[in-house]
């Protein structure tokens, strides 16, 4: 089976916006097994839609694939496309989760957006699609609550 992807093994540029980003997918070789795949983006960046100032977050994406896996290079490019995109924390986090669900149709997906403070207050955003299948293990996302310098 030939795998057709736009980015894998080819030179690629960061998309101009999340809407223009392509999320490639590849067949899941273990579609008969419930397992969790995790992607962590420790340096996620977007722009405040009001001030244009940068916002920073740690994103943790866990999913139980069905027929499809997200191709990691396309996911990195998709996430990087937010660098010059203005959106609130909630919109970025939930929008990323929904886009992955739309493209992959996973059995389960959760995303945690652990945003660094702006205006003295961090905002953490969590979204989940479906229920974790029996027999699948999803560990804690491992990002402690923001505690400042102490």
Catalytic residue numbers read 48, 55
CA 3 – CA 114 distance, rounded (Å): 34
Residue 94 near residue 61, CB atoms below 8 Å: no
Residue 6 near residue 24, CB atoms below 8 Å: yes
Which tokens belong to 52? 């244009």
Contacts of 53 (CB under 8 A, 6+ apart): 47, 118
């Amino acid at each position: 089976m030939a795998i057709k992807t736009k980015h894998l093994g080819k030179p690629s540029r960061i998309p101009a916006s999340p809407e223009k980003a392509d999320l490639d997918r590849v067949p899941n070789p273990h579609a008969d097994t419930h397992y969790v795949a995790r992607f962590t983006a420790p340096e996620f960046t977007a722009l405040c839609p009001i001030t244009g100032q940068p916002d920073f977050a740690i994103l943790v994406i866990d999913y139980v694939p069905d027929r499809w896996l997200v191709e990691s290079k396309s996911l990195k490019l998709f996430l990087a496309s937010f660098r010059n995109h203005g959106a609130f924390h909630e919109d970025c986090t939930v929008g990323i989760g929904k886009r992955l669900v739309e493209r992959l149709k996973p059995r389960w997906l959760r995303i945690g957006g652990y945003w660094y403070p702006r205006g003295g207050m961090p905002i953490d955003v969590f979204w989940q699609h479906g229920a974790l299948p029996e027999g699948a293990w999803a560990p804690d996302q491992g990002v402690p609550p923001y505690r400042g310098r102490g």
